[in-house]
Structure 1
C-alpha cells in the first residue's frame, strides 16, 4: 500500500539474469537524471547517430528558479563529460502573477485556471495574450481586461478576413484569379503599399523569432491588423469591391487581399494556430487541392524583398498622419467626415512634403475635392489680429495711451502692419486726434480665416476649407441617406447581391432638392431596383424607420425586391 521504505523493500522482480531485482540501497542525487537528460534522451552512449545529429540543443527554456537547478546541473555534467555546454542558448521565462503582481494562491483566491480562460476566450486568444503581454523573461501580470483587448484585436482580424468573402464568392473568385502576377499593371499604390507592409511584417517577425523577442512579434502583428489592414487598407479598397463587372481594378484588389491574408495566416500560425488554420483551409486548400493540407505543414513564409518599398511605406505613413490632422480640423469646425470639403491645404514648416503619388489616397480618406501642398514656410492667406503692448505705449503717449489702445481696436491690422513694414511707424486716429505708433507698441498674430479649420501634424499644419456649397451639401446629404439605408439592409440581413425597394420621405423641401441631385447615385449605392425620393410619400416596406439627419426628420422604408 505504501511504496516508501520499508514497504517498498518487499517489491521485487525476476531478472533475465536469473536473479532478483530489488531496491538499490544507495540513491544518487536526483538532479543527476536531469543533468544527463540532453544526451540520455538520445540514447547516448549506447547509440551515437542521434547524438551526433542533434546534440547540443539549440535552445532550452525554463523558469528563472532553475538557474541553480536544471540549467546548472546540465551545464556541470556536460562540461565534465564533454568539455562543452549541452545547449547553445537559454531563455528563462517569468512566472504568472495576478494583476497586482501577487503570486496566485488558493488562500488569496486569485488563481486563474487556463481552462477557465480557454472556455471564455478560446486557446488562440490566450496564447496570443501570453506571448504578447510582456517579454518572455519577465513575470506575467494576468489581466482580464488585457485578454479582452487581445480578443478584440483577433476579432477585428476575423472581420477583415470576412470582409471581401461575399464579394469574392459572388464574383466566382478562384485559384486562377488569385494569381497576383496577372494584375501587376493594375495594382494601385495602396495595393503595393499593403504588399510591402505584409512582407516587412514577415521580415520583422522572422528577425524577432531568431532573437526570441516573442512579445514584439505579437505587437507587430497587432499593429498590422489594426492600423494597416483594418483601419486603412480595407477602407481604401472597399469601394473597388462594389464594381459590378470583372474589372481589372477590382480583381487586383481581390488578389491583393488574398495574398495578404494567406501570408498573414502563415506568419500567425505559430501564435494563433486554430485561427490561422481556419483561414488557410478556406483560402488555400479550398481553392487548391494540391496545396499542403495544413498551414502548419507549409514552409515558413519568407519576406519577398521585391515587394518591400520603404519609401512608399514612409510616404503612406505621412499621408495617414495628414488624414488624421484633417480629421482633427474637421472636428474643431463640426464638419463630419461623410461630408465632402472643397479643398485641403498642407503647409509644411521646414521640410518639403512629398505625397509620392498618393494624392488620390489622401483625397479619398479626407473626403476632399482638392489637395494643395505649399512650399516650406508658406501659408494660406491668413487673417491678422493685433494687440497693444501697454508698457511701450504708456511712456510715449502718457495720458492719451488709452485712446491709442481704443484706436488699435478698430484699426485694420493688415494696413497697420503694412505701414510699419514700409516706414517703421503707422498712423492711427481716435475722436478726431491722430497718433503715431511704432512696431514695438503692437503685437501681431496670424489666424486662419473663418472658412479654414487648422490642425497640426509633424511637418506643419493642415488647413481644411469648411465652406459648404450646394454641390457639397447635396453630396453630404446623399451619403447620410446611403448610410441609413445600408444600416437597414443589415438589419434585414440582406445579402450583398439582394436588390431592394426603398422609399425616402424628407420633411424639408430645401433638403429634398439637394438630395434629388444625387438620386441615381443613392439608388446605385444601396442596390435599389425601385427607389422613390420625395416629400409626403407613403411608406409600406418591411422595415420602416425614422431618422434625424442634420436636424431634419427623414423617414425610410426598405424591402427586398
Structure 2
C-alpha cells in the first residue's frame, strides 16, 4: 500500500489533537451558546439556505461536498481517505466558519421560537448561524459515526435532546449537490489563502493581528481570481484587520535585485566579467527579471546573457512586509499612524479585560462594571469607549479605583500602564 498503517500512542494522540478535540470544541461552543440563548431547533423557523449569508451557504456547500466525498471513499473501501477528508473539513469548520461567526452568536437577545426576542436587534442572522451550525454538527455526527462511533453518539444524543436512541440507528446522510456552490467555495479558499499569507507578512514585520493596518496589496495568479478577490474582500479585510484592499502587480510589492551568475559568466568572459557586472548593475532590474522569468536572452550593450547567467532575488518595498507563495504575493503596509495605534490599543485592552473575565470565573454572559486608574487609558477610551464596552459587556467604564470585591490586575501594554478592576453588574 502507498500509506503505511501506523498506530500507537503518538499517532492516536495526533488524531485526538488535530481532529477529535477541534470537532468537540466546535460542538462545545455551539452547546454553550445554544443554552444561553435558549435555542430550540424544533421551535425555530430558519431562513431558506438560498437566503442565508455567504458564510452559511459556504459551509453547507462544503458539507454536502464532504458527504459526497466520504460516501465515495467508504464505498470504495478507502476509510483512510474518508477520515482525512473529514479532518480537512473540521479544520475549516473550526478555524474559519466558527471563528468568523462568533460575533453572530454573541448578539444580544434570547431565541424563544418566535424568530427571536431581542428588542431592537435583527436576529435573523443569529438564527441563521445557529440553524446552520446545528445542521452541520447533526450531519457530521451521522457522517462520522462509522469512524468515531462513541464521540459522535454522545454528541448526537445531546444535540437531539436525547429524544432518539442512537446515531447508529439513523439513516446515513445523502449529499444534496444542489447546495454545492463551486464558485463560493473558490472565493472562500482564495480568502483563506490570502489571509494566511497576510498573517505571515504581519509576522515577518512583527505586527500583531490586533493592530489595525491601512492596506493590503494582493497579486493573484489570474484575472479570474481578480474577480473572485472583489467578492472575498470583506472577509480578507476582517481577517487581516486592514482598512482597504488593493489588487497589485508584483512590481508594486517588491523590488528586483539582479546579480551575475559568476560560476557561469567567469569562464565565458574572463577579465571582462567586471564589465558585465557593471552593465547588469546599470540595467533596469525589473526588465531583466522579466526576461529571466520568460526565458529570454538579456541584451546589455555588447553582452548577450542567457537567463541562467543572471541570478534574480527580491526585496520588499520599504513600506511593505510581503509574503509570496505558489504564484501569489501579498503585502501589508507597515506604517502605524496615531489613529491606527489607538485602535490597536483598544483591541489589546479588550483582550486583556476578556482574559480577566475568564480568570475571575465570570459567566460568559455576565455584564460587568470596569474600573481603571492611572490616566494612561484616557485618550484611548475617549475615542473607543463604545467599542470596549460592547466587546467586554461593560455597562460602565469608570475612572475610579476598583472596589475591594473587584477582580483587579495591573496591565501594561504598548507603553500604557493602568490598574484595572472588574465586578459583575448585579443591576
Fold in common (TM above 0.5): yes
CA distance in 1, matches of 2:63, 2:44: 17
CA distance in 1, matches of 2:273, 2:143: 75
Structure 1 residues 352 and 183: alpha-carbon distance in aligned structure 2, compared to 1, 3 A threshold: closer
What whole-Å deviation, never above 9, does each CA across 1:66-90 have from its counterpart, x for those lacking one?
xxxxxxxxxxxxxxxxxxxxxxxxx
SS in 2 for 1:293: coil
Does residue 229 of structure 1 match 2:105?
Answer: no
What whole-Å deviation, never above 9, does each CA across 1:358-416 have from its counterpart, x for those lacking one?
22111111112111223xx5532755768799989985999xx99x99xx8xxxx8xx8
Task: Report what 1:188 is aligned to.
Answer: 53
Contact 2:253–2:320 (8 Å) recurs in 1: no
CA distance in 2, matches of 1:209, 1:179: 34
SS in 2 for 1:219: helix
- The correspondence for 2:15, drawn from 140, 143, 150, is 150
CA distance in 2, matches of 1:439, 1:188: 62
Task: Report what 2:408 is aligned to.
Answer: 544
CA distance in 2, matches of 1:197, 1:381: 33
CA distance in 2, matches of 1:314, 1:330: 24
CA distance in 1, matches of 2:51, 2:126: 9
Contact 2:253–2:322 (8 Å) recurs in 1: no
SS in 2 for 1:557: strand
| Number of residue equivalences | 386
SS in 1 for 2:410: strand
Task: Report what 1:363 is aligned to.
Answer: 237
Does residue 254 of structure 1 match 2:254?
Answer: no
Task: Report what 1:300 is aligned to.
Answer: 172
- The correspondence for 2:213, drawn from 335, 341, 356, is 341
Contact 1:177–1:255 (8 Å) recurs in 2: no
SS in 1 for 2:246: strand
Task: Report what 1:240 is aligned to.
Answer: 104
Does residue 504 of structure 1 match 2:378?
Answer: no
Structure 1 residues 277 and 356: alpha-carbon distance in aligned structure 2, compared to 1, 3 A threshold: farther
Contact 2:371–2:402 (8 Å) recurs in 1: yes
CA distance in 2, matches of 1:559, 1:277: 40
CA distance in 2, matches of 1:322, 1:396: 42
Q: Report how far residue 344 of structure 1 moved.
A: 0.7
Structure 1 residues 273 and 530: alpha-carbon distance in aligned structure 2, compared to 1, 3 A threshold: same
SS in 2 for 1:237: helix
Task: Report what 1:478 is aligned to.
Answer: 346
CA distance in 2, matches of 1:502, 1:393: 75
Higher share of residues assigned helix: 2
Structure 1: where are the runs of 5+ without partners?
Answer: 1-93, 95-133, 422-436
SS in 2 for 1:355: helix
CA distance in 2, matches of 1:261, 1:389: 57
Q: Report how far residue 446 of structure 1 moved.
A: 5.9
Structure 1 residues 208 and 386: alpha-carbon distance in aligned structure 2, compared to 1, 3 A threshold: closer
Task: Report what 1:557 is aligned to.
Answer: 421
CA distance in 2, matches of 1:199, 1:396: 62
Contact 1:455–1:462 (8 Å) recurs in 2: yes
CA distance in 1, matches of 2:313, 2:324: 17
Q: Report how far residue 263 of structure 1 moved.
A: 0.4
- Comparing both chains, which one has the higher relative contact order based on Cα–Cα distances under 8 Å and sequence gaps of 6 or more? 2
Higher Cα Rg: structure 1 or 2? 1
Structure 2: where are the runs of 5+ without partners?
Answer: 109-120, 289-299, 305-309
Contact 2:256–2:314 (8 Å) recurs in 1: yes
RMSD of Structure 2 on Structure 1 (CA):
3.5
What whole-Å deviation, never above 9, does each CA across 1:31-83 have from its counterpart, x for those lacking one?
xxxxxxxxxxxxxxxxxxxxxxxxxxxxxxxxxxxxxxxxxxxxxxxxxxxxx
Contact 1:189–1:357 (8 Å) recurs in 2: no
Structure 1 residues 198 and 397: alpha-carbon distance in aligned structure 2, compared to 1, 3 A threshold: closer
CA distance in 1, matches of 2:258, 2:284: 9
| Correspondence 1:364-379 to 2 at 5 A | 364-374=238-248, 377=249, 379=251
Q: Report how far residue 532 of structure 1 moved.
A: 2.5
CA distance in 1, matches of 2:76, 2:56: 30
Q: Report how far residue 308 of structure 1 moved.
A: 1.2
Does residue 448 of structure 1 match 2:324?
Answer: no
TM-score by length of 2: 0.79
CA distance in 2, matches of 1:506, 1:352: 53
Contact 1:327–1:366 (8 Å) recurs in 2: yes
Contact 2:368–2:396 (8 Å) recurs in 1: yes
SS in 1 for 2:99: helix
Task: Report what 1:317 is aligned to.
Answer: 189
Task: Report what 1:527 is aligned to.
Answer: 393
CA distance in 2, matches of 1:146, 1:506: 51
CA distance in 2, matches of 1:443, 1:456: 18
